[in-house]
Structure 1
Amino acid sequence: MEVIEGVFGSLNGRNVKSYTIKTDNGMELTCIDYGCIITKINVRDREGNLENIVLGFDTMDEYINYSPYFGCIIGRTAGRTENASFELDGVSYELPKNDGINNLHGGPHGFHNAIWDSSIEIQENEINITFSYTSPDGEEGFPGNLQVTVIYTINNANELIISYRAKSDKKTIVNLTNHSYFNLSGNLKRTVLHHELMLKSDGFLELDSSLIPTGKVLPVEGTVFDFRKGRQIWQGVESEHPQTKLVGGGYDHPFLLNANNQKEITLLDRESGRKIEIETDEPCVVLYTGNMLEDHYEIRGTQSQKHLGLCLETQKPPNMINHPNFPSSVLEANQVYRTKTKYSFTLI
């Protein structure tokens, strides 16, 4: 395995580091310590062509001006928080309203916009990149000094393992995820409309008119939300289902997983032969099919457009802070938050 370290750019007088890891089996991953962003993942297609399968940019200016959370770590909370507020032990906390009346992905100055401390550890068959960040008490309205560590482990089995750890000195809420947009066609040759997705999920969370999960679980049976045997993305985009129309044609929904660490999420592109298998200990994955991607910028020479990439955000169900029927994102003082998701890059 090989590591190339460099400087990606600078922000507020501080250099942003980049790390490119090359495995012995033909996978390359590049990430930066601004937002822990994964800027590239190069893997081979069935013909042996090494191409990039995630959406990203080559400059800091582009990430700052255009990025809809490409490749970054989301925190303190993934997804939308209703009315940009929550209550803990009778105390109300107000968050920035950066998505209408709601809070999205922890606020405009969330973890995706921070420069993290970073270090690298090289072993024989894997390389670990450790990112750490301390979110001070009151940052973006959240209580507690929160110490966060995210580790990207890349190994010679062409796997990426993302390990999350957090600890706060006050009771708070935490729900972290990675927001990579995948496109297995390679170098954005096509949209993801003909990508095929399989999810071990019997139900998804209904969204209200402002895209907040209501807490009602809708069965996937008989709908375009049934991915248990595989389904192409275009079927949801073209569907007349009120929930797909609500989010702009496609998906932006939390799916409740039936299984953990059992290849419960599979994405494949039959034309290129590329496949990703995702295993997680999280109870939920948010499928977002790029319905809101705008077209006023280019992504490495390709015009941005709807459905150019899709996200598979493993996490706890968004906005379920005090809901009795779902795992809570509440983190007690001095309790350790831990979660892990593995991405395996293979061929069909």
Structure 2
Amino acid sequence: MKLLVPVRHYLLILVVLILAGCPSPDDNQPGNLPSATPDSETKSEHTPPPEDQFEMSLQRDPVDDEITRYMLSNDKGMVVELINLGATVTRVLLPSGNGESVNVTLNFEDPTTYKMNPPYFGSICGRYSNRIAQGKFSLNNQEYTLATNNDPNHLHGGNEGFNKKIWIAEEINEADQVGVQFTYVSADGEEGYPGTLTVKVKYLLNNDNELKLEYTATTDKETVLNLTNHCYWNLGGAGSGSILNHELNLNCSQYIPVDKTGIPTGELADVAETPMDFTSFHTLGKRIEQVEGGYDHCYVRDNYDSEGVQLIATLRDPESGRSMEILTTEPGVQLYTGNFLDGSENVGGYAKHGGICLECQHFPDSPNQPEFPSTTLAPQEVYQQTTIHRFKFAK
């Protein structure tokens, strides 16, 4: 709305301004400076925005000569922190009702600790996430031997998997999202795998509180590939206690039974009328004692051969009211309830069941299980995967 002022008032105002602008005889003498505006006047004219107003942003913070931290934030107050070591998610901060933020993923406080990272907190696992039996597979009539770093099997890419590599980072600043693209080139023969593999992983945060992971990869020689992110979630807050009070729903009517070493038996089993059934919401702790060792199983997404991103899991914490939906293009999700967390320094001090992993991926040991969806990547092909974490929380 415009305020209309009579012309005679304009003339009066003009005269006053001219007189006020005329310097006094001493004003232009050396040593005489114009008077500063009092701080109180400056603050009253430039009031800072309220603390509950946020904006989308991307910040970069070097940790040491190798590691750089990236901080993504949106206009809802959600913050995601990443490092280029392992293309790792180190914190996911959600606003709470009391004006503070709560980190909902397990982490190490010191980013350099991720150079070891025995539990794979927040990292990209590869070349092959999950297990390969006896550390062996055949491709084109040639047998390949991998490290058996999870005796007697190969796990998450071996002794020096993608979680221990420094990735090249490229910042993404777009109108509707911010993010980082991490790139790593795995040499032919690295950890026993064939082919030079170029992997790109994009982390994207938008104002719908969605953290999207977009993976692509190409190879110059036929190889096997199964990528995932290994975040441990605790919607009550990292370090707040057990996740056994969380409620889980999986759009999975089948799971993959495994032997005592975590290798699939080759069948897809129905979850109905078993402790494995999460086709409706169940509290994680309700039946976990009926599962030897706790949950560490790959679930098969309903209609897993359909294309596009599909809802596979919903996790919620009744106490805090926070929830997380996971959508993916992958055929399976590995449910792991932090059974080997032991409270030691190696695992960041987190106790058993202090976090839950929901790792979207292909099935374990697929290179040795011909009836499972193929994880072979040929030179003329492009590996593609999308996984979305959608968070809901009290404003």
Per the TM superposition, whether the score is higher than 0.5 is: yes
Larger radius of gyration between Structure 1 and Structure 2: 2
Alignment correspondent of 1:26: 77
* 1:252 and 2:296 matched: yes
**SS of equivalent residue, structure 1 residue 70:** coil
The structure 2 residue matched to 1:310, chosen from 345, 348, 356, is: 356
Distance 1:30 1:3 in 2: 10
Q: 1:18 deviation in Å?
A: 0.7
* 1:328 and 2:379 matched: no
Residue deviations 1:130-156 (CA, integer Å, cap 9, x gap): 000100000000000000000001111
* 1:268 and 2:316 matched: yes
Decide whether aligned partners of structure 1 residues 42 and 97 sit closer, same or farther in structure 2, where only a CA change above 3 A counts.
same
Q: Percent identity?
A: 38
Deviates more, 1:51-60 or 1:316-325: 316-325
The aligned amino acid for 1:97 is: T
Alignment correspondent of 1:113: 164
Q: Which of the pair is proportionally richer in strand?
A: 1
The aligned amino acid for 1:305 is: A
**SS of equivalent residue, structure 2 residue 267:** strand
Q: 1:123 deviation in Å?
A: 1.2
- In the alignment, structure 2 segments of 5+ residues that lack a partner are 1-55
Residue deviations 1:210-266 (CA, integer Å, cap 9, x gap): 111121112100111110111111124222xxxx21xx2x21100001156343210
Contact preservation (8 Å) 1:45, 1:273: no
Alignment correspondent of 2:48: none
Decide whether aligned partners of structure 1 residues 299 and 25 sit closer, same or farther in structure 2, where only a CA change above 3 A counts.
farther
**SS of equivalent residue, structure 1 residue 62:** helix
Alignment correspondent of 1:218: 269
Contact preservation (8 Å) 1:44, 1:274: no
Residue deviations 1:264-298 (CA, integer Å, cap 9, x gap): 21000010010000100110000010001122228
* 1:90 and 2:141 matched: yes
**SS of equivalent residue, structure 2 residue 286:** helix
Q: 1:324 deviation in Å?
A: 3.5
The aligned amino acid for 1:151 is: K
TM-score scaled by structure 1? 0.92
**SS of equivalent residue, structure 1 residue 213:** coil
Distance 1:251 1:64 in 2: 27
Deviates more, 1:119-128 or 1:165-174: 119-128
Alignment correspondent of 2:50: none
* 1:294 and 2:342 matched: yes
TM-score scaled by structure 2? 0.82
Q: Which of the pair is proportionally richer in helix?
A: 2
Deviates more, 1:257-266 or 1:311-320: 257-266
Decide whether aligned partners of structure 1 residues 325 and 65 sit closer, same or farther in structure 2, where only a CA change above 3 A counts.
closer
- In the alignment, structure 1 segments of 5+ residues that lack a partner are none
Decide whether aligned partners of structure 1 residues 135 and 49 sit closer, same or farther in structure 2, where only a CA change above 3 A counts.
same
Decide whether aligned partners of structure 1 residues 66 and 175 sit closer, same or farther in structure 2, where only a CA change above 3 A counts.
closer
Distance 1:323 1:304 in 2: 35
Decide whether aligned partners of structure 1 residues 66 and 323 sit closer, same or farther in structure 2, where only a CA change above 3 A counts.
closer
* 1:146 and 2:192 matched: no
Distance 1:119 1:219 in 2: 43
